[in-house]
């Protein structure tokens, strides 16, 4: 996680933009088998990988009037759902945003776009790690032994949010979803407003029970709540509210337009790394809030 964070930090320190920084960070996490995204994604009920990813960026652009002092926030987004043949779904989400008039693409059309955008395709099996296979087997064994209806959640979804020196705010999220999910199930991580959101006031990325996050529109809600407080308090209040309203478990990371960072979760665990010029990179395992 720290190595992935450094990739984003290097981009921002070199004067790069927030979108490149969150994409580079998420791409590095997708490539690491430890995380449930890209290589190392968890397996669906059929033992296959189906990944979701999305990103959103809000940039201030000069409208031209009022001697160039009129800034108009412009937001763009891209996403893919249930893709099985790309190592880095977040790069494909970027291609959707930058090379099509659409926001969310799935299936054969998304793969065709990958080819056109020069994103290498792989065999679906190449994304399966021994660890993912073991988790999948364990899920069946547990169900057989205890007849539980556990959904096999173990997390590992990845996400990043950033603000750059020009004030652009970006968010990116990528996941293999949940072990044992039905084939074709799409979670929050592919949906703008649920697993990812950015506008002129802030950017957010989510993890946790996708169905609860979708019903609550978690990231949209978190960014909207920034009008009522600082990122840290907003993260806590928004997660508590999600818990109250849906009974679900989730985590969120937020940056606001002044660069203030916030994160909170009510799930088993969530690992977080932060960077700001004053404090450098920091690493946390925040306690769940109740
Ligand atoms: N939110 C992801 C999903 O529901 C899973 C996770 O974050 O653990 O697909």
Digit-coded pLDDT (tens) for 173-212: 999 999 899 999 999 999 999 999 999 999 999 999 999 9
Residue 139 confidence (pLDDT): 82
Domain ranges in the chain?
A: 2-201
Give the atom of ligand 1 at the shortest distance from the alpha carbon of 207: 7
With cut-offs at 50, 70 and 90, classify the pLDDT of residue 64. Answer: low
How far does CA 54 lie from the centroid of its chain? 7
Look at 61 and 203; give whichever has higher pLDDT: 203
Q: Which residues is 75 bridged to in the sheet?
A: 58
The mean pLDDT value for 235-259 works out to 97
The mean pLDDT value for 227-254 works out to 97
How far does CA 18 lie from the centroid of its chain? 14
Q: Chain-wide mean pLDDT for the chain?
A: 92
With cut-offs at 50, 70 and 90, classify the pLDDT of residue 68. Answer: low
With cut-offs at 50, 70 and 90, classify the pLDDT of residue 129. Answer: very high
Distance 176 CA to ligand 1 centre (A): 8
From 81, 157, 249, the mutation candidate for ligand 1 (largest count of ligand atoms within 8 A of CB) is 157
> What is the largest distance, in Å, between two alpha-carbon atoms of the chain?
71
Distance 82 CA to ligand 1 centre (A): 13
Burial class of residue 76, CB neighbours in 10 A (0-12, 13-18, 19+) = middle
Residue 73 confidence (pLDDT): 62
With cut-offs at 50, 70 and 90, classify the pLDDT of residue 58. Answer: very high
Model confidence at 150: pLDDT above 60: no
Look at 272 and 107; give whichever has higher pLDDT: 272
Q: How far is CA 276 from CA 16, 93, 185, 247, 253, in A?
A: 15, 27, 37, 33, 14
Residue 149 confidence (pLDDT): 36
From 37, 209, 211, 271, the mutation candidate for ligand 1 (largest count of ligand atoms within 8 A of CB) is 209
Predicted TM-score of the model (pTM): 0.93
Helices (H), the chain: 2-13, 18-31, 65-68, 89-99, 107-116, 130-146, 210-216, 218-224, 231-246
Look at 103 and 69; give whichever has higher pLDDT: 103
Q: How far is CA 240 from CA 226, 231, 243, 247, 273, in A?
A: 15, 14, 5, 10, 22
Residue 67 confidence (pLDDT): 62
- Note if 157 is an active site residue: yes
């Amino acid at each position: 996680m720290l190595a992935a964070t450094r990739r984003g930090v290097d981009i921002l320190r070199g004067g790069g933009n927030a979108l490149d920084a969150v994409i580079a960070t998420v791409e590095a996490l997708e490539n690491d088998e430890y995380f449930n995204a890209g290589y190392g994604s968890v397996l669906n009920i059929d033992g296959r990988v189906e990944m979701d990813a999305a990103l959103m960026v809000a940039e201030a652009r000069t409208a031209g009037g009022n001697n160039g002092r009129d800034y108009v926030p412009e937001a763009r987004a891209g996403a893919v759902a249930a893709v099985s043949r790309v190592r880095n779904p977040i790069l494909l989400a970027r291609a959707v945003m930058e090379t099509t008039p659409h926001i969310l693409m799935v299936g054969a059309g998304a793969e065709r776009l990958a080819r056109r955008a020069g994103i290498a395709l792989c065999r679906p099996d190449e994304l399966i790690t021994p660890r993912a296979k073991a988790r999948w087997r364990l899920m069946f064994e547990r169900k057989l032994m205890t007849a539980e209806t556990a959904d096999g959640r173990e997390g590992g979804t990845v996400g990043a949010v950033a603000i750059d020196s020009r004030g652009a705010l970006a968010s990116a999220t990528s996941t293999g979803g949940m072990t044992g999910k039905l084939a074709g199930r799409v979670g929050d991580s592919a949906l703008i407003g649920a697993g990812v959101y950015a506008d002129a006031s802030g950017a957010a990325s989510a993890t946790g029970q996708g169905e609860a996050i979708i019903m609550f529109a978690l990231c949209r809600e978190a960014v909207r709540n920034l009008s009522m407080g600082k990122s840290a308090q907003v993260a806590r209040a928004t997660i508590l509210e999600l818990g109250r309203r849906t009974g679900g478990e989730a985590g969120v990371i937020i940056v606001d337009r002044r660069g203030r960072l916030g994160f909170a979760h009510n799930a088993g665990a969530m690992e977080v790394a932060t960077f700001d010029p004053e404090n450098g990179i920091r690493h946390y395992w925040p306690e769940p809030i109740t």
